[in-house]
Structure 1
């Protein structure tokens, strides 16, 4: 069980880092006045996908506690 928890935590950290990197890339494109709106849209869509995956893994990592 500890092995599974560590791998989920490691995966979460990787996903969070990718999300931060995409956020920085979107900010840089928008700050530079890029007219490549399709690229910005793709990056934002990927960010949302990562966020959803982070939420799912976070929910799985937390134990189910019925109070």
Structure 2
């Protein structure tokens, strides 16, 4: 896997986590511990992207 492929894969995972967080947040009774786990995963991916390439834009 090339560096660019890795970056694209991480960006896709980051976007999927963002969607999952938004979905969980909109539920009538959001699972706060699950949201915290998803946010930590998203942050870890963002940190890795920062190390690998240009800044992640939203």
TM-score interval (norm. to shorter): 0.7 to 0.9
Larger Rg: 1
Aligned to 2:53: 58
In the alignment, structure 2 segments of 5+ residues that lack a partner are none
**Bigger helix share:** 1
Greater relative CO, 1 or 2 (CA 8 Å, sep 6+): 1
Shift >4 Å, 4+ stretches: none
Aligned: 1:42 with 2:54? no
The count of corresponding residues between Structure 1 and Structure 2 is: 54
TM-score by length of 1: 0.74
